[in-house]
Amino acid sequence: MEIRNTPAFSFPLPFSLSGNHLDAYEKKVGALGASYLHPIPSELQEKIAYRVVSIPAPTPAVAGTLNFGVTYLHPYTVEGEYSFTRGHFHADKNYDEYYFGLSGEGFLLYWDGKDEVFAEKVFPGSVHYINGKYAHRLINTHPDDIMAVGACWNVLAGHDYETIDRGGFPVRCFNVGNQPVWKEDKQ
Ligand SMILES: [Fe+2]
């Protein structure tokens, strides 16, 4: 598993996106059941896996209109597998995206849909430029802390969740002795 260097900046922390007129949605762990290697235990089914808070993009959208949001990924494991976001490709792979770590720690997993798969460490102040050709997924490796990650992307990028829902990513990340261990996943 290749871990590439992560550029970083700094800014006042802690960070929280709050205010009026924000959009928000929550994903429960049970809704991610098919994405984990092992079945979701009943006590986790109704827990919040992650919450996404975003600033509604200006309307009408034009070619350059941007979305901005923050994902709060909760810490839990499923038979040792760290919590993660569903992950997606962009519907239009010409559109790139910025992610930036705000709090907590974990990984950003990239996959080109073929043989190239790698991750970058995510931490407060980390900056991640996501080329639109890569599917991307966040993984929270902290035992207790919520991982907060900001994102900025073009409204025209769109989301292709179905490709990941069908076959997942080629690797999974597990807590083994309080260390992240990557394991290949059969496609
Ligand atoms: Fe994206």
What domains does the chain contain, in order, with CATH numbers? 2-184 (2.60.120.10)
Distance 96 CA to ligand 1 centre (A): 8
Ligand 1 mean position, distance from CA 152 (Å): 9
Residue bearing the bigger pLDDT, 8 or 177: 177
What pLDDT does residue 157 have? Answer: 97
Q: What pLDDT score was predicted for residue 28?
A: 97
* DSSP code string of the chain: -EEE---B----SS-----TT-EEEEEEGGGGGGGSSSPPPGGGTTSEEEEEEEEPPPSS--TT-EEEEEEEEPP-EETTEEEE---BB-SSTT--EEEEEEES-EEEEEE-SSS-EEEEEE-TTBEEEE-TTSEEEEEE--SSPPEEEEEEEETTS--B-HHHHHH--SEEEEEETTEEEEEE---
CA of 131 from ligand 1 middle (Å) equals 10
Q: What is the mean pLDDT of residues 12-22?
A: 71
Q: What is the pLDDT of residues 43-60, one digit of tens each?
A: 999 999 999 999 989 899
Averaged over 3-19, what is the pLDDT?
70
pLDDT of residue 134: 98
CA of 119 to the centre of ligand 1 (A): 15
Round to whole Å and give the CA distance between 14 and 11. Answer: 9
How many A from CA of 181 to the centre of ligand 1? 25
Nearest in space to 144 (alpha carbons), one of 90, 106, 96: 106
Q: How far is the CA of 177 from the centre of ligand 1 (A)?
A: 31
50-107: pLDDT as tens digits: 999 999 898 999 999 999 999 999 999 999 999 999 999 999 999 999 999 999 999 9
Q: Are 32 and 49 in contact (CB under 8 A)?
A: yes
- Could you tell me the two tokens for 129? 């430029």
The answer to whether residue 12 scores a pLDDT higher than 60 is: no
CA of 115 to the centre of ligand 1 (A): 20
What are the tens digits of pLDDT across the range 110-155?
999 999 999 999 999 999 999 999 999 999 999 999 999 999 999 9
12 Cβ contact list (under 8 Å, min separation 6)? none
Between the CA of 137 and the centroid of ligand 1 the distance, in Å, is 9
